[in-house]
Amino acid sequence: MEPITPNPQDIKRALRTLLLAIGEDPDRDGLRETPDRILRMWKEIFRGYREEDRPTITTFPNESGAEEMVMDAGQYYSMCEHHMLPFFGHYYFAYLPSADGRILGISKVARVVGYCAARLQLQERLARDVVEMLSEALGGTARGFAILMRGTHMCKTMRGVRNQGEMQVAYYTGEFKTDASLRAEFLQMVAAAK
């Protein structure tokens, strides 16, 4: 989905209105440039809508025929679609290559997570988006994907719902879905990666 590009003046006017709505004076020194700054920042943190920013995902033929679980972990930063406030945390990703399929350049996982996170998101959908994009890049040859995301949601912690601000989501496909021992192995690796 390509974003429509409304007139930047309209967006700035809208942001000005929002500043008025919270009781601010949009013309005072500290705020005069704020609508501009927000617009520029959105270009970066919402790049996940733009096709031209989509990372190219390098894959290779699985020449060694390896079938072992491959894992990657890192951090992510996103914006919740309900409140437009950040949620962020750690992701733990694993997939099972098939012996006659393709394998991922594992460094690409972080780029894909970053791209999918650069949209208004739900933690559950973010997990699915990452798996779908990587699965597609492998031409559907992977035997299964697992992703676990732990996040702190500012829309909850900032409002004092502290113990509800932490959220964990796990998403499994393929053999991870059907084989409990694979999920256990993955969760063990997650625990070790902490």
Smallest gap, in angstroms, from Cβ of residue 161 to Zn ion? 11
- Under 8 Å between Cβ of 104 and 121: no
**CA 108/CA 27 separation, integer angstroms:** 44
Reading phi first (left if > 0) and then psi (alpha if -120 to 50, else beta), residue 152 is in: beta
Name the residue nearer to Zn ion (CB basis): 40 or 82.
Answer: 82
Backbone angles phi, psi at 102, to 5 degrees: -120, 160
In this chain, which stretch among 39-47, 79-87, 98-106, 107-115 interacts with Zn ion, using CB under 5 A?
79-87
Interacting positions 111-130 with Zn ion (CB under 5 A) = none
**CA 141/CA 3 separation, integer angstroms:** 31
In this chain, which stretch among 3-11, 150-158, 160-168, 186-194 interacts with Zn ion, using CB under 5 A?
150-158
Query: Residue 112: how many CA atoms within 13 Å on its side-chain side?
Result: 26
The verdict on 80 binding Zn ion (CB under 5 A) reads: yes
The verdict on 159 binding Zn ion (CB under 5 A) reads: no
Name the residue nearer to Zn ion (CB basis): 40 or 159.
Answer: 159
Q: Which helix (H) or strand (E) holds 136?
A: helix 123-137
Smallest gap, in angstroms, from Cβ of residue 87 to Zn ion? 7
Question: Which of 83, 90, 102, 177 is close enough to bind Zn ion by CB under 5 A?
Answer: 83
In this chain, which stretch among 19-27, 37-45, 53-61, 153-161 interacts with Zn ion, using CB under 5 A?
153-161
Name the residue nearer to Zn ion (CB basis): 30 or 160.
Answer: 160
Which residues here bind Zn ion, judged by CB under 5 A? 80, 82-83, 155
